[in-house]
Chains A and B, each alone.
Chain A
């Protein structure tokens, strides 16, 4: 049914899209016109395109010996660094000693001679088409137009308000780098380059979004990543025809493998060290300008349970915490369902003493267990949603009210049994242990709960089987989602339930980087052992 609705929406959308494209083709014919050697007419053309934008500055000036050349500088006030324009474009042009001397025999109607001799900003570009000019202008470049030249110079003197590189709020670590990505993609690329200093770190640029013209970068290491993977990413990104990309989530939803799955097949992170690690394993990162969240593909299920800190701390605690994360995910999805299944369908499985205390707690509760559980989980989800969006002081109030009203008062009033409060709160706490799978966990919790309420343990097992089948059928950019568990890969299993010491993890993941290349990522026999000397007795 959903597919049907979706198809309807899509077909009507496609129809509108076609009409729009036709209209644009008819009206926008002059946009691709070349620039003319006449300054006034060029300015006129630009002005007519941007006539409703009040923040565009058109600065006409003369320069050169005897002020014999006419020129104009066009830029958007809010997006350019005016000081830089003054210092590096206007100053050299108007007061440069080279120009003022009478014996200069250069032709300054040629853009190239200006660019090579006078402009001291390195990031500049010649443009000869009107719509190229406008595009550059809108991305924050200052455009230098010279009378008599068929070309203009776009000088990038962009000014951007950026945040400093902070510790990401969603992925705080105890041990590990405290830097996080920011909204400026150039800074983000720099953060990655600082970790991987090889010439074959490729940074491919694409511009997606007809209105937003967002810069999207594919970053990967050529000698490690599978060329087929990169090709697939390019194909999927090229498909995207959309007005605007406002966040990497837009990209994610257009390139994922199974849009109807509740499991994410594209991972995201705010941490440069995490992205660097993924790139070095053969994955590709997709950076989107304007957001600190960087995508990485392909993604496997067990990735959600790995944290960067696992690799920075010694393997023993890391292995325990990893198993705790797997357990937490099971608790967070199955906790209420198993409680309902046991208390409503399989009372004989509960130890006698526990059954008596559960029965005692439920004595005054007027609702069936399934309703009781749904109410509590629903209340928790409301609390979480309310708490996340609010400023910190108010958020705390929500927490306190929730704890007192839901935890204490509802039990005292006999609406909820105390054991249900324990079940739901432990479920809630467990659900925070695996942030990458919060979405799927929340959805599964409701589904399993409903199944438990309908058919008890049988329903839960049915649900688990369907989930397992679905997980096994998923792929992310060609990699099986359950790798390395299914298909089984022993070398990959070193980093799933337990985190083996780094010197034992000597190979890159085969399913991701396995394009027939050498998978080794470290030298042989790296197990540390103290220096034994030359066999002579030291004592």
Chain B
């Protein structure tokens, strides 16, 4: 009996050790042996036509020094942009180890930036690796450079240590203006799977202001079947977002009712609903937008916090929203790119009719009629009730 117990214990101990050995989780890597990648850029190599991959790697030894600032050599960059070429992205990634010495660690990648030439050629064949590799996150942000991706990644911002982090931040804070929208790899690839619906991704560019290079987002690139077909400006992007219900906040400027200045309104909340309808073979999309606004600034001496003034401001702001939506629709009609996802709405509601529309959707899309109904409400005037101006009675 006692002997048997000993054997049992030995077997259990052996099993436990075997579990560890067999699990395949034993691949521990010390942090020192990692090259932490925080941004990646994909361009076309002009000479060979191969892929030129730029990886932004954290230089650990320089992080403390460049942030401290007091010591000498504060100019040193905390990152290292290293690039390599290859016929495929994976090959290029592995080629990079010839230069870094350590394996790249891409789980903390913040943004993938595709060059303009790659985007025009079509992203479909380039994003497979970013979705397939197990270390890559599907939530990595996707951006399109107006020029070359490597140039964007070189522009060092003054407050951030890493350009890639700065770029990611620019996109993540889209809600303050709603002039662009955050798109990650997963969202983008979902749009790619649908042939009728178009997708978009934020553009990024470098502006040269008297020697200091600044990175900014001028708008969104529109993709159709994976290929970049056009660009949307700030106002047009917000027009799209109104319909999609993705507007978070932003600024609407309307002329003040007395015509002496402007009233500047902040979007507090926006809701939208789009319902398709087919009447006599004509497609009408009813778009209903509800906006709550606050009076954030005024450039006129008149007190705008009155009922008639509010009514006029609301009417004017509704007109602004309507114009933005129409502008966006006009632009996408030209591109024949269904960025609003009307095709999906029709497919859901009129699946029988959709079958006949499906094949010539590109021609049908520009003929769609939009019925836009905007209801806006100014709900608060923030801290001031009267503007700081002499009272009218004392004049």
Question: Are A455 and B36 in contact, with the CB atoms below 8 A?
Answer: no
Instruction: A4 to B10: give the CA distance in the assembly, Å.
Output: 13
Question: Which residues of B lie under 8 Å from residue A7 when comparing CB positions?
Answer: 2
Question: Are B25 and A456 in contact, with the CB atoms below 8 A?
Answer: yes
Residue of A nearest to B63 (CB): A360
Question: Which residues of B lie under 8 Å from residue A360 when comparing CB positions?
Answer: 60-61, 63-64
Q: Could you say which of A3, A348, A359, A462 contacts B6, with CB atoms under 8 Å apart?
A: A3
Would you call A12 an interface residue if the criterion is a C-beta within 8 Å of the partner chain's C-beta atoms? no
State whether A458 and B64 are in contact (beta carbons under 8 Å apart), knowing that A3-B6, A348-B107, A352-B108 are contacts in the complex: no
Question: Are A355 and B108 in contact, with the CB atoms below 8 A?
Answer: yes
Instruction: A458 to B32: give the CA distance in the assembly, Å.
Output: 22
Q: Could you say which of A348, A356, A363, A454 contacts B20, with CB atoms under 8 Å apart?
A: A454
Would you call B135 an interface residue if the criterion is a C-beta within 8 Å of the partner chain's C-beta atoms? yes
Instruction: A300 to B64: give the CA distance in the assembly, Å.
Output: 49
Question: Are B30 and A356 in contact, with the CB atoms below 8 A?
Answer: no
Q: A354-384: which have CB < 8 Å to B?
A: 355-360, 362-363, 365, 368-369
Question: Which residues of B lie under 8 Å from residue A455 when comparing CB positions?
Answer: 20, 23, 25-26
Residue among B27, B63, B135 having the largest count of chain A Cβ atoms under 10 Å: B63
Question: Are B61 and A347 in contact, with the CB atoms below 8 A?
Answer: no
Q: B97-114: which have CB < 8 Å to A?
A: 105, 107-108, 110
Q: Could you say which of A344, A352, A369 contacts B38, with CB atoms under 8 Å apart?
A: A352
Question: Are B61 and A458 in contact, with the CB atoms below 8 A?
Answer: no
Question: Which residues of B lie under 8 Å from residue A365 when comparing CB positions?
Answer: 32
Q: Could you say which of A343, A456, A457 contacts B31, with CB atoms under 8 Å apart?
A: A343
Q: Could you say which of B19, B28, B38, B108 contacts A345, with CB atoms under 8 Å apart?
A: B28
Instruction: A456 to B28: give the CA distance in the assembly, Å.
Output: 7
Instruction: A347 to B58: give the CA distance in the assembly, Å.
Output: 14
Would you call B29 an interface residue if the criterion is a C-beta within 8 Å of the partner chain's C-beta atoms? yes
State whether A357 and B31 are in contact (beta carbons under 8 Å apart), knowing that A352-B110, A456-B25 are contacts in the complex: no
Would you call B34 an interface residue if the criterion is a C-beta within 8 Å of the partner chain's C-beta atoms? yes
Question: Which residues of B lie under 8 Å from residue A368 when comparing CB positions?
Answer: 30
Question: Are B31 and A348 in contact, with the CB atoms below 8 A?
Answer: no
Question: Which residues of B lie under 8 Å from residue A462 when comparing CB positions?
Answer: 16, 19-20
Nearest Cβ distance between residue B104 and chain A, in whole angstroms? 12
Residue among A344, A356, A456 having the largest count of chain B Cβ atoms under 10 Å: A356
Question: Which residues of B lie under 8 Å from residue A343 when comparing CB positions?
Answer: 30-31
Instruction: A369 to B31: give the CA distance in the assembly, Å.
Output: 9
Question: Which residues of A lie under 8 Å from residue B16 when comparing CB positions?
Answer: 462
Q: B19-61: which have CB < 8 Å to A?
A: 19-20, 23, 25-32, 34, 36, 38, 58, 60-61
Instruction: A358 to B64: give the CA distance in the assembly, Å.
Output: 11
Nearest Cβ distance between residue B378 and chain A, in whole angstroms? 40
Would you call A282 an interface residue if the criterion is a C-beta within 8 Å of the partner chain's C-beta atoms? no
Question: Which residues of A lie under 8 Å from residue B137 when comparing CB positions?
Answer: 348
Instruction: A345 to B25: give the CA distance in the assembly, Å.
Output: 8
Residue among B20, B23, B31 having the largest count of chain A Cβ atoms under 10 Å: B31
Question: Which residues of B lie under 8 Å from residue A456 when comparing CB positions?
Answer: 25, 28
Instruction: A459 to B36: give the CA distance in the assembly, Å.
Output: 25
Nearest Cβ distance between residue A355 and chain B, in whole angstroms? 6
Question: Are B105 and A347 in contact, with the CB atoms below 8 A?
Answer: yes
Nearest Cβ distance between residue B288 and chain A, in whole angstroms? 40
Question: Are A369 and B26 in contact, with the CB atoms below 8 A?
Answer: no
Per-residue CB proximity of A449-464 to B under 8 Å, as 1/0?
0000111111100100
State whether A347 and B28 are in contact (beta carbons under 8 Å apart), knowing that A352-B108, A363-B60 are contacts in the complex: no
Residue of A nearest to B105 (CB): A347
Question: Which residues of A lie under 8 Å from residue B28 when comparing CB positions?
Answer: 344-345, 453, 456
Nearest Cβ distance between residue A39 and chain B, in whole angstroms? 59
Question: Are A358 and B25 in contact, with the CB atoms below 8 A?
Answer: no
Instruction: A357 to B60: give the CA distance in the assembly, Å.
Output: 8
Question: Which residues of B lie under 8 Å from residue A348 when comparing CB positions?
Answer: 107-108, 135, 137
Instruction: A362 to B61: give the CA distance in the assembly, Å.
Output: 9
Residue of B nearest to A343 (CB): B31
Question: Are B19 and A347 in contact, with the CB atoms below 8 A?
Answer: no
Instruction: A369 to B20: give the CA distance in the assembly, Å.
Output: 19
Question: Are A344 and B30 in contact, with the CB atoms below 8 A?
Answer: yes
Question: Are B26 and A454 in contact, with the CB atoms below 8 A?
Answer: yes
Question: Are A356 and B23 in contact, with the CB atoms below 8 A?
Answer: no
Nearest Cβ distance between residue A506 and chain B, in whole angstroms? 45
Nearest Cβ distance between residue A361 and chain B, in whole angstroms? 9
Residue among B2, B29, B32 having the largest count of chain A Cβ atoms under 10 Å: B32
Question: Are A347 and B20 in contact, with the CB atoms below 8 A?
Answer: no
Q: Could you say which of A3, A352, A363 contacts B32, with CB atoms under 8 Å apart?
A: A363
Question: Are A347 and B6 in contact, with the CB atoms below 8 A?
Answer: no
Q: Could you say which of A344, A359, A457 contacts B58, with CB atoms under 8 Å apart?
A: A359
Question: Which residues of B lie under 8 Å from residue A355 when comparing CB positions?
Answer: 31, 36, 108
Question: Are A363 and B61 in contact, with the CB atoms below 8 A?
Answer: yes
Per-residue CB proximity of A431-473 to B under 8 Å, as 1/0?
0000000000000000000000111111100100000000000
Question: Which residues of B lie under 8 Å from residue A344 when comparing CB positions?
Answer: 28-31
Instruction: A352 to B2: give the CA distance in the assembly, Å.
Output: 54
Question: Are A347 and B26 in contact, with the CB atoms below 8 A?
Answer: no
Instruction: A459 to B16: give the CA distance in the assembly, Å.
Output: 10
Question: Are B25 and A458 in contact, with the CB atoms below 8 A?
Answer: yes
Instruction: A360 to B63: give the CA distance in the assembly, Å.
Output: 7
Instruction: A368 to B135: give the CA distance in the assembly, Å.
Output: 22
Residue among A7, A363, A459 having the largest count of chain B Cβ atoms under 10 Å: A363
Question: Are A347 and B34 in contact, with the CB atoms below 8 A?
Answer: yes
Nearest Cβ distance between residue A88 and chain B, in whole angstroms? 60
Residue of A nearest to B16 (CB): A462
Instruction: A113 to B96: give the CA distance in the assembly, Å.
Output: 107
Q: A105-128: which have CB < 8 Å to B?
A: none
Question: Are A359 and B31 in contact, with the CB atoms below 8 A?
Answer: yes
Instruction: A368 to B36: give the CA distance in the assembly, Å.
Output: 18
Question: Which residues of A lie under 8 Å from residue B61 when comparing CB positions?
Answer: 360, 363
Nearest Cβ distance between residue B274 and chain A, in whole angstroms? 37
Instruction: A357 to B78: give the CA distance in the assembly, Å.
Output: 12
Question: Are A362 and B32 in contact, with the CB atoms below 8 A?
Answer: yes
Instruction: A345 to B34: give the CA distance in the assembly, Å.
Output: 12
Question: Which residues of B lie under 8 Å from residue A454 when comparing CB positions?
Answer: 20, 26
State whether A347 and B38 are in contact (beta carbons under 8 Å apart), knowing that A356-B63, A360-B61, A360-B64 are contacts in the complex: no
Nearest Cβ distance between residue B82 and chain A, in whole angstroms? 17
Question: Which residues of B lie under 8 Å from residue A345 when comparing CB positions?
Answer: 25, 27-29
Per-residue CB proximity of B161-186 to A under 8 Å, as 1/0?
00001000000000000000000000
Residue among B2, B34, B107 having the largest count of chain A Cβ atoms under 10 Å: B107
Question: Which residues of B lie under 8 Å from residue A457 when comparing CB positions?
Answer: 25
Nearest Cβ distance between residue B188 and chain A, in whole angstroms? 21
Instruction: A537 to B377: give the CA distance in the assembly, Å.
Output: 50
Instruction: A214 to B65: give the CA distance in the assembly, Å.
Output: 68
Instruction: A458 to B19: give the CA distance in the assembly, Å.
Output: 10
Question: Are A359 and B20 in contact, with the CB atoms below 8 A?
Answer: no
Question: Are A357 and B63 in contact, with the CB atoms below 8 A?
Answer: yes
Question: Which residues of B lie under 8 Å from residue A358 when comparing CB positions?
Answer: 31
Question: Are A362 and B31 in contact, with the CB atoms below 8 A?
Answer: yes
Nearest Cβ distance between residue B199 and chain A, in whole angstroms? 26
Which 10 residue pairs across A and B have the least CB separation, nearest first? Answer: A348-B107, A344-B28, A359-B60, A352-B108, A458-B25, A360-B63, A360-B60, A363-B60, A455-B20, A359-B31
Binding site for A on B (CB under 8 A): 2, 6, 16, 19-20, 23, 25-32, 34, 36, 38, 58, 60-61, 63-64, 105, 107-108, 110, 135, 137, 165
Sample (26) of A-B pairs whose CB atoms are under 8 Å apart: A343-B30, A344-B31, A345-B28, A347-B34, A347-B105, A356-B60, A357-B63, A358-B31, A359-B34, A359-B58, A359-B60, A362-B31, A362-B32, A362-B60, A363-B60, A363-B61, A368-B30, A369-B31, A453-B28, A454-B26, A455-B20, A455-B23, A456-B28, A458-B25, A459-B20, A459-B25
4 further A-B pairs in the complex, CB-CB below 8 A; given A347-B105, A359-B32, A363-B32: A343-B30, A344-B28, A345-B28, A347-B29
